[in-house]
Structure formats: C-alpha cells, structure tokens
A and B are shown apart, each in its own frame.
Chain A
Amino acid sequence: MKQKIPASQITPEHEYVSRRRFIKQALLTTSASLLAASCGTDPTSTKPTTDPEFAAFNSQTDEQGNPITAYTDIIGYTNYYEFSTSKTQPTKLAASFQTDPWSVRIDGLVNNPITLNMEDIRSEFQTEERIYRMRCVEGWSMVIPWVGFPLSKLLEYVQPTSDAQYVRFETVYDPEQMPGQSNPSYPWPYVEGLRMDEAGHDLTLLATGIYGKDLTPQNGAPIRLVVPWKYGFKSIKSIVHIELVREMPVSLWMTVGPTEYGFYANVNPEVDHPRWSQATERRIGASGRIDTQLFNGYEEDVAYLYEGMDLKTNY
C-alpha cells in the first residue's frame, strides 16, 4: 500500500530531500516570510523563531495544511517518564544523557539477527523528512517534521521468519542516567509493540532527527519509533532492543493501566479515556480546541489494517 501525497504539501514526504530541492525551498520560504513580514503578519507561527535555520520549517505544513509546531515547543514539552512525569523537567534532566556510543540489537524470529551501532544505522538507512501529527493520549498534539526511515527497511534487513507476528521494542534501562526509572510504580524498562503489518506500514518510522537536526535526548535520542496514527506513548524512545516475536508483547502501559491502555492505542475520538478528552485536542502553539480525527487523520492509509475489528474492545 503506497501513501498518497497531496500536491499541496511543500515537501514530498516519501522522497529524499535533495540538496537542490532544499535550497530552492529555503529560497521560497525566505521570500514567503519576507512577503509576510512586509504585510505585517506572520500567520505561520505563534512563537516566531529568529534562528534562520528554522526558517525552512516554520512555514511548512503537514498534508492537511496544519503548520509545524515551533521547535522550542517540540523540545521543551515532552512526556518522558524515564526522566520525570513533568512535561518540562525531561529537557533539563536529560541534558547530559549519553547517546554515544549507542547500539540497537535486533533479534528474535529473524534470519539475520544483528547489533547495529548508530554509525551503521546512519550509513545503512537513508533518512528522509516526514511531517506527522503527533497526538498525545493526554489530549494535546503537535505537528513534527521528523527525520527518519521506514521501520520496514530495517525489517527487510534482518529478514523476519514466517513465525514472526509482532515486533517488540525496548527502551534503554539506565537508572543512573534516568532518575524516573528508580520509581517503582512502573515496570521498567519501557516496552512497546506493533503487529507485523503495522510495523511494516510505510508510515511507521524509525526517527533519528527533528527539524533537520539530531533528536534531543528528551525527544528520544538517538533513535525512536514514530507511529503517527497511534497515541504518542506507542512511539517508544531511545530504543536499544527490537525483537521479532510470536506473541503479542505486553507494553509498560498495558501492565500499569490495562483498562486505560490497550495494545493498539489507535487515535480514536470514539474511545474514551477516564481523564483526558479523546474527542477533542489542543494543538500546541495554536489557540482553541480542535476535533480529534479517527486514526489521527491517517484513516485512508491505515484503516484497512483493522478491518472487521471492533476498535472499542481492541483499544
């Protein structure tokens, strides 16, 4: 199944952004912002960033026309319980988090189990930019320009056997560096999982950067998952282990709150949560509430994965 790209999108999502295109786009953006400045309005962002390296991003939108969230908000407002349950503390507490050297072990039901360090990953898999909406289960959302590569490429590389039904992901366990992991309320390390067809979907990304830069620690450096049609907590951060398995993995949140968090966690305004609105959301940087879209607006791309399934029981 191929992702369709609306013509309105400035950066074609599934194409490598060539140097020429980047320069051309930067010129276009600069002239657009000059034009906007001369009219005395800047409709693109509520928090204008003066840094010229952000200029190319600040006027971009996702395929629905939603402007990209300001970089300062993306790196300053995160959920990363390994550091803190506060949204702003991870930025401070993760500042000195060591992500180099880093390696990811990929094993389980594969023909080619392997441990790759970040250099291997960077040279083996060509990254591209993808602008995705990110919907947190807590009722807020952002539009993020990721840099990454489809998880399917990595899966091709390790060749799952025919027995592999699910992919299990694990975050690094390092309480020395991650103070939140000393909190006994949670069964660390963080675990997430995807069904094989979800993992192989072209939208499913392994991200290494945001806004053209490497990921910050609080955003899940050096490598994280991004599954844009699921609630943000599925997009596991700072991955060290990817295992192909037969049985459905049990995620950290399924263990902690089985009635609130299921395996699928697809964005769905029809499935309530006891604390947060799933019918509506606040887009960070924009004013006012907006309606939440089924599968976070990626219904056309992913609805077929769940055909015949009751999404209320398979939440």
Chain B
Amino acid sequence: MKITKIQIIGNLVGLIPGIYLLYRVLSVNLSANPIQTATVFTGKTAIYALLVSLFASPLSRLLKLRVFHQIRKTAGIYGFYYALVHFLIFVWADYEFNLSWIIPELKQKTYLQLGLIGLFFLVPLAITSIERIKKELGRTWKKVHSSIYIIVMIILLHVALASKGDLINPAILIALYLLAMIMRLPFLKSVHINNPPPWFKKIDAFLTC
C-alpha cells in the first residue's frame, strides 16, 4: 500500500506529544507530581486524537477533500496509543501493579470503570485497523468501527467525572463531540461546498499522494 504525504505528516504530528513527554521525563522537568502530570497529558492527547479522527469523515465530505479522510486512521491509532500509555502509567508507574490498591479504587470510582471500558473497546478497533484484517472483514469493518461513537462518549464521561473544578474543559470536548455527531445527521450529509477554490484541490492532491 502506498503511503501518502498526509499520512507521514500525521504520524510525525502524532509522535510529537510522546517525544515532548519523554523529553520532560528525561530532563526531570515534569512538575513536582510527575506521574499526575504524565497521566493527564497522555489522557488529553488521546481524547484530542480521537476527536480529530471523528471529524475526519464529516470534514472530508463538507469540503470535498480526501486529505481529512486519510488522517482518520492515523488519528484513531494515535488516540489508542496514548490511551494505552495513559492506562500503563496508571497501573504500572502509579499503582505499581499492586492489585490490593487497584481493585478497591476500580470498585469505587465510576470514572476508572468508564476509562477501562473505553480502552477495552478501542483494542478491537486498533487491531482491525491493520489493512489486511480490514480487507478480510469487508462490510463488517464499518459496523465494528461505528462503535467508536459510543466509545468516545464513554471516554468523555470518564474525562468529565475525572475533572476537577468547574466543568468548562470537559464541556468544550463534549460540544466538539456533539458537533462531529451532528455533522453526520442524514440531512446534513449532503451539505458540502460547491466550488472549492482551486488551491484547495491542489493542496489536497499534493498531500494525498
């Protein structure tokens, strides 16, 4: 399969938060509470990436550009990676795989249960993103992957319940999610720009080859 420019760019952008985090870990500059900072940072990166992935299809349709469609998978995969690292920081770096600490917390805290469920259901989506498996699945792939709408909702609930102070930040994320969903409504699906400027098309063609 041919790798396009936008996919390379997508991968580079996807790696930046990880490199930045690693740099701060190695330079011992991750705040007075490094585990907390790393947990929040990876969690935020994951949800941003998943939201980008959700906007890919409707934006592609709206602007009649392929470029957005081609970063859908990259963004989704990075969303999964950062969610996985977020989880590993929690169970490994923070709770040291100590089940006598983890289990009671998991029983008590709804936000932890939701986060775990969200990650659990991201796994099959990540696996079926492998091109060969995707082809084998055929039409089923689309059904499997439409579960992302529910998964992101669960993850956003996890974010909202884990947030402290006022809920402005989770509210913004939820608003973005709802916007991405509204853009999928059948009567809006046919809405798109009629005469995209030519340079739009040029950039699109350049990035997607």
CA gap between A289 and B96 in the complex, in Å: 8
Chain B, Cβ-Cβ closest to A279: B104
In the complex, which residues of chain A have a beta carbon less than 8 angstroms from the beta carbon of B111?
274-275
B126 within 8 A of A: no
Chain A, Cβ-Cβ closest to B163: A275
A183 within 8 A of B: yes
A185 within 8 A of B: yes
Chain A, Cβ-Cβ closest to B107: A272
CB pair A88–B31 under 8 Å, yes or no, is yes
Most chain-A CB neighbours within 10 Å: which of B36, B105, B165? B165
B148 within 8 A of A: no
CB pair A140–B105 under 8 Å, yes or no, is no
In the complex, which residues of chain B have a beta carbon less than 8 angstroms from the beta carbon of A183?
166
Interface string of A59-88 (1 = CB under 8 A from B): 000000000000011001100010001011
CA gap between A277 and B164 in the complex, in Å: 14
A12 within 8 A of B: no
B161 within 8 A of A: yes
Q: Could you say which of A72, A186, A272, A280 contacts B101, with CB atoms under 8 Å apart?
A: A280
In the complex, which residues of chain A have a beta carbon less than 8 angstroms from the beta carbon of B26?
none
In the complex, which residues of chain A have a beta carbon less than 8 angstroms from the beta carbon of B36?
140, 282
CB pair A284–B33 under 8 Å, yes or no, is yes
CA gap between A50 and B31 in the complex, in Å: 19
CB pair B32–A279 under 8 Å, yes or no, is no
Taking the nearest CB of chain A, how far is it from the CB of B39, in angstroms? 11
CB pair B32–A289 under 8 Å, yes or no, is no
**Would you list which residues of chain A between 77 and 120 have a CB under 8 Å from chain B?**
77, 81, 85, 87-88
In the complex, which residues of chain B have a beta carbon less than 8 angstroms from the beta carbon of A52?
none
Q: How many residues of B contact A (CB 8 A)?
A: 21
Interface string of B24-42 (1 = CB under 8 A from A): 0000000111011000000
B94 within 8 A of A: yes
Q: A288 and B96 in contact (CB under 8 A), knowing A279-B101, A282-B35?
A: yes
Q: Could you say which of B94, B96, B164, B166 contacts A275, with CB atoms under 8 Å apart?
A: B164
Interface size class of A (residues with CB under 8 A): 20 to 34
CA gap between A272 and B105 in the complex, in Å: 9
CA gap between A279 and B104 in the complex, in Å: 9
CB pair B164–A138 under 8 Å, yes or no, is yes
Q: A81 and B109 in contact (CB under 8 A), knowing A282-B36, A285-B32?
A: no
B162 within 8 A of A: yes
In the complex, which residues of chain A have a beta carbon less than 8 angstroms from the beta carbon of B104?
279
Binding site for A on B (CB under 8 A): 31-33, 35-36, 94-96, 98, 101, 104-105, 108-111, 161-162, 164-166
Binding site for B on A (CB under 8 A): 72-73, 76-77, 81, 85, 87-88, 138, 140, 183, 185-186, 272, 274-275, 277, 279-280, 282, 284-285, 288-289
New contact pairs (12) apart from A87-B33, A279-B101, CB-CB < 8 Å: A73-B32, A81-B165, A85-B165, A87-B31, A87-B32, A272-B108, A274-B110, A274-B161, A275-B161, A275-B162, A277-B105, A279-B105
